[in-house]
A and B are shown apart, each in its own frame.
Chain A
Amino acid sequence: MSFLHGLADRDRVFDFLVPQASPVDVRHGPILYLEDVSVSFDGFKAINDLNLTIDDGELRCIIGPNGAGKTTMMDIITGKTRPDTGSVWFGSRHNLLTKNEPEIARLGIGRKFQKPTVFEALSVFENLELAMATDKSLWPTLVARRNADLRNRIEEVMETVGLSALSRRQAGILSHGQKQWLEIGMLLMQRPRLLLVDEPVAGMTEQEMERTAELLKGLAGKHSVVVVEHDMGFVRSIARTVTVLHQGSVLAEGSMDKVASDPRVVEVYLGGDEEAA
């Protein structure tokens, strides 16, 4: 087994990004900072000179019609897509453009996908276990044991998202709403500084939606939260600041009421037949 040890050691040598080792520096204000970011696919500008700043502990909603570049923006922040130009900083220390997805995740940026993405073959407990903020390099994962710390934390989170009774249920057979919560739970397990939440209430019942709103509001403060959502009612119910994206750049920013009365926003939402799909 010496070979395995060797592998594990290699893994550790390169693993200089254990979360605690390099805290996010927010002394200078914003936790997330996007400047002049542009990206195009086949000549189509998905993101066009985007500037966006998120403050520490803020809950920000981002809205915009289809094709406005919301998901692409998320992709850029989390390292899935590389922009053509611009810079993206996490705090004032971490240049996100030099990092890949796992590194960014380990820095403390969690992401919830538009389509609920949980590990369907694993149980609720195991899903949360995998999300736990801990050493995620190879060898520690192989020899990892389930200690009391882990259990407590998982139970705590299951409590928060209301899945305690379903601990051993396979994630694949949860209802749609339950999957959304599980995914949010997984985000919480990561103890992120910044949460990116993509359409958290799509397909939820009214009741579930309310719960989710509560949940997200509860998170703000401790974490910075960016929510991308279509449902205006939901956005209104949680948002303090709203950013409107259109054709890859910021169209308007401010309180819900303020943006809702902005004629350009109204134009985009009501008369928007020139938008690219």
Chain B
Amino acid sequence: MMTSRHWLARPFSERSTLTFLAVLCGAMALVVLANLLPADHPLHVSTYTVTLLGKYLCYALLAVAVDLVWGYLGILSLGHGAFFALGGYAMGMYLMRQIGDRGVYGDPLLPDFMVFLDWDSLPWYWLGFDMPGVAFAMVLLAPGLLALVFGFLAFRSRVTGVYLSIITQALTFALMLAFFRNEMGFGGNNGLTDFKELLGFDLSADSTRLGLFIASGVALALGFLLCRAIVVSKLGRVCVAVRDAESRTRFLGYRVERYQLFVFVVSAMLAGVAGALYVPQVGIINPSEFSPLFSIEIVVWVALGGRATLYGAVIGALAVNYAKSVFTGIMPEAWLFALGALFVLVTVLLPQGIAGLLSRRRQHDDAPNNMAVKQEATP
């Protein structure tokens, strides 16, 4: 048992976590080195690929966040895209303010979309986003607060199972509609785009892209460690207890709603960080990230990778997105067939996902895997 150390240090005594970190760091180092090779070298990895991988890493962090609430707490959130997008918008607003007077209208204060829609001043909620400190805090706070309020209401009233899933979906759907509205002042359907620089670094420079890739990797590693630390603590075991027998846990004297709220908020903030790192790499944030289908897709990554393992979520996110990138290029008309079939086959044939396939034998304290216990979703 490794519960003697500081709670944040506990994951370091787990072999699987260390292996994961080593693999992640190793692969990233390889990519970075390969990118630094001269462009005509056969092993050169183009910046395009690096950015693409950076995007995958953001998705992987997002998947880890979803796995934390779904795999360990049993809350199937169909609205995690909302937290991801809120983090992304916070970052996008900062990047927008950084454009300054380099927009097409040259307005030093207002973003272009506000100029041509005749806004005469910056809405109050845009204030402060020119300061990186404020903006980065909002990356955590915006999704965190939303999760806090929403979770407080939902968990207090013991909304569970399918009901919770559906109202998380309603949440992200409502936000999507709201952000589509141009009156909201977030650029409507077009969202925020045409970013120039981040913390003074030119976003189109190769070195910045490499930096963002590394930052995404580091964020993934840290996020993974934080989740791991939570999962292996007694709190993590309470979560599993809540997942498998919620009312039993309550009768043991745990205030289940607080545990749910805590983990939900942490997960939302991680998703926000993922969104914030995602935006400068893809160059746009718009309301389609709030789309319920995107949130479902995230859940599918986790299911495909294997729930309640955390690293399974990472594998799932990387695998699906890589497949998507490849298929949309080589079989543009038919890739949805492949993707759809993949989801069906994995769910039916691989209930434990890829991770389950990789290691059939698992120590129970490493990853509680008995998911079929809780039947609460069949009311």
* Chain A interface residues (CB < 8 Å from chain B): 1, 3-4, 7, 11, 78, 80, 100-102, 105-106, 110-111, 113, 117-123, 126, 129-131, 133, 136-138, 141-146, 168, 170, 172, 186, 190
Contacts and interface: CB of A to CB of B under 8 A. Distances in A.
B348 interface: no
Given A80-B247, A113-B248, A141 B241 contact: no
A212 B154 CA distance: 40
B3 A102 contact: no
A102 B259 CA distance: 12
The 4 closest A-B pairs by CB, nearest first: A121-B368, A105-B253, A101-B250, A144-B234
Among B6, B7, B254, B373, chain A packs the most CB atoms within 10 A around the CB of B254
Given A4-B266, A142-B230, A146-B3, 20 more contacts: A11-B258, A80-B247, A100-B250, A101-B247, A102-B255, A105-B251, A106-B253, A113-B248, A119-B240, A119-B241, A119-B249, A122-B241, A122-B244, A126-B237, A130-B241, A130-B252, A137-B258, A143-B6, A146-B4, A170-B370
A62 to B, nearest CB: 18
A136 B241 contact: no
Interface string B219-240: 0000000000010011101101
Contacts of B249: 119, 130
Given A102-B254, A105-B252, A172 B230 contact: no
A122 B251 CA distance: 17
Contact of A130 (B144, B238, B262): B238
B61 interface: no
A78 B140 CA distance: 38
Interface residues of B, number: 41
Contacts of B262: 4, 7, 138
A130 B234 contact: yes
A107 to B, nearest CB: 9
B251 A101 contact: yes
B259 A138 contact: yes
Q: What DSSP secondary structure best describes chain B's contact surface?
A: helix
Given A121-B370, A122-B368, A102 B241 contact: no
A129 B369 CA distance: 19
Contacts of A105: 250-253
Given A3-B144, A101-B247, A138-B262, A121 B240 contact: yes
A121 B373 contact: yes
A106 B249 CA distance: 12
28 contacts: A3-B140, A101-B247, A105-B251, A105-B252, A113-B248, A118-B245, A120-B244, A120-B370, A121-B243, A121-B370, A122-B237, A122-B240, A129-B234, A129-B237, A130-B241, A130-B254, A136-B252, A137-B255, A137-B258, A141-B234, A141-B254, A142-B230, A143-B6, A144-B235, A146-B3, A168-B364, A172-B370, A172-B373
B95 interface: no
Contacts of B255: 102, 136-138
Contacts of B8: 1
Contacts of A119: 237, 240-241, 244-245, 248-249
A74 to B, nearest CB: 10
Contact of A170 (B6, B248, B269, B364): B364
Nearest to A169: B364
Contacts of A101: 247, 250-251
B1 interface: yes
Contacts of A172: 370, 373
B364 A102 contact: no
A186 B4 CA distance: 23
B118 interface: no
B70 to A, nearest CB: 14
